[in-house]
Amino acid sequence: MGIPTSSGLRVSVLDQSPVSEGSTGSQALQNTIDLARLADGLGYHRYWVAEHHGGGMVAGPSPEVLIGPIAAATTNLRVGSGGVMLPHYSPLKVAENFSILAGLFPGRIDLGIGRAAGTDPMTTFALQRDRRQAAPDDFPEQLAELLALLEDRMPSDHPFYRLTQLPGLPEAPVPWLLGSSMQSAIWAAQQGLPYAFADFINPRGASHAELYRTSFEPSHRIDTPKLAVAAWAIAADSQEEAERLATSARMTFTLLRRGQLIRVPPVDKAQRFLAEEERQGRKPPERRAILGTGANVRDQLVEVAREYGAEEVVVVTITHDHEARRRSYELLAEAFGLRAASSGARAAA
């Protein structure tokens, strides 16, 4: 598996399985498998897939379904969810799903857990099994139950005590808590969990990361804080090309903030849209965009990791053209020296 780069960072991928305008969800899912194979060969550390519902913009509502095919198509990557939106599910069902994955792919499965809905209120309601009323906001209790099931630590007086014989034992996934807020940092610290912060959602999260580190309570899982930061980036052969490619995602995110879910548009369409937005005096949503050549993006990612005190960066890249996305990850791997690191790790093995 991937080893730290010369900068001391691990470098990983978060794939939201974007659907490009003129393409299909099926092709987006095939692109995810293709990109995972590429990342595996380039020496990235882990490959996480996201959960989003209710629109044609991304094709990844079920990370638990995607993880198996990705793990089967790769060899070295850790594979996991970035993440499972726990309020939609029974903790037992999540535990069973990821226990099976861990049993099939020992030592390679991560379970990233999130609290957000990953969709709009109506779709959230449609995902509920019982629609007589809105589901309760009981995430801390759900999280505690899930961890107890996964780790066979359910108290003997709990009604679910006998349900801990999961199918993939003795293998188990590694749990992470995901978030973009102070509350998620507090929960991760209290539970002694690894924490992944979504800078691509909230670029002002360094203080939350600091709270996680200073409030961390050692656990049987890890005895010191373990932090990853997920950032949005595009690397290209020039600064101008990276900025040009980024217009597709900028248009997508701008309309998403207005409640419009579109497929990722081609660059020329996005450039026209953004030019009109500028003429109308409308500013795009605030979002950290790390754009440039491979070396420039590497340096900026290192700086973001330093800002958060993170030991790992998880890179999110969305472009209309799948080949441009592949090229971006290739340039980053080269800039970080991942190919050499991966080859060395395999030689040592």
Is residue 232 classed as helix, strand or coil in its secondary structure? strand
pLDDT bin (cut points 50, 70, 90) of residue 153 is confident
Top-confidence residue, 79 or 257: 79
Categorize the per-residue pLDDT at 340 as very low, low, confident or very high, splitting at 50, 70 and 90.
Answer: low
Stretch 111-129: mean pLDDT, rounded? 80
pLDDT of residue 1: 57
Best CATH choice for the domain 10-239+287-348 from the list 1.20.1260.10, 3.20.20.30, 3.30.70.360, 3.40.630.30 = 3.20.20.30
pLDDT digits (tens, 9 = 90+) for 155-166: 888 888 888 789
* Three-state DSSP state, 142: helix
In angstroms, the CA 95 to CA 117 distance is 19
**pLDDT over 90 at 344, yes or no:** no
- Whether 321 has a pLDDT exceeding 60, the answer reads yes
pLDDT category at 6 given cuts 50, 70, 90 is low
313 neighbors 12 (Cβ within 8 angstroms):
yes
pLDDT confidence of 136, banded at 50, 70, 90?
confident
pLDDT digits (tens, 9 = 90+) for 47-75: 999 998 877 789 989 999 999 999 999 99
pLDDT, tens digit (0-9, with 9 covering 90-100), for 266-278: 999 999 999 999 9
**Which pTM value belongs to this model?**
0.93
Mean predicted confidence (pLDDT) in 87-109 = 96
Give the pLDDT score at 347. Answer: 34
Q: Where do the structural domains in the chain lie, given as residue ranges?
A: 10-239+287-348
HSE of 326, CA atoms in CB hemisphere, 13 A? 13
Least confident of 18-32, 53-67, 311-325: 53-67
Longest CA pairwise span in the chain (Å): 65
What is the torsion angle, in degrees rounded to the nearest 10, for the CA atoms of residue 117, residue 92, residue 151 and residue 64? -60
